[in-house]
Amino acid sequence: MAIHETEERNGKLRTVMKLEPGERVALCRCMRSAEFPFCDGTHKSIEGSAGPAIVEALEAPVEEGATDK
C-alpha cells in the first residue's frame, strides 16, 4: 500500500509517496478528491478538469541510462 505524506512548504502543498514494486495508483490532479492525493472520480463531474495521473512502480530498479533511448 502506498505510503504518503503531505506537508506545506512555502504556502504550497507537497506530497511525497512511496510505492511497493508493481504497485499502481491514480493521483488526483483536479484537487477536488475527498481521498486526496488519490483520485476518487470527482473529476468526472468537473467540466474541463484534468483526469488523474496514473503512476506505477516498476518491478525492478531502473538501471542508469535505461531511459536514454
CB of 25 to ligand FES, least distance (A): 12
37 grid coordinates: 492525493
The answer to whether residue 4 forms part of the interface with ligand FES (CB under 6 A) is no
DSSP SS3 for 45: helix
Q: Using alpha carbons, select from 63, 54, 66 the residue that is nearest to residue 23.
A: 54
Nearer to ligand FES, 48 or 61 (CB): 48
Interface segment toward ligand FES; rule CB under 6 A; list 2-10, 13-21, 38-46, 59-67 = 38-46
DSSP SS3 for 31: coil
The answer to whether residue 39 forms part of the interface with ligand FES (CB under 6 A) is yes
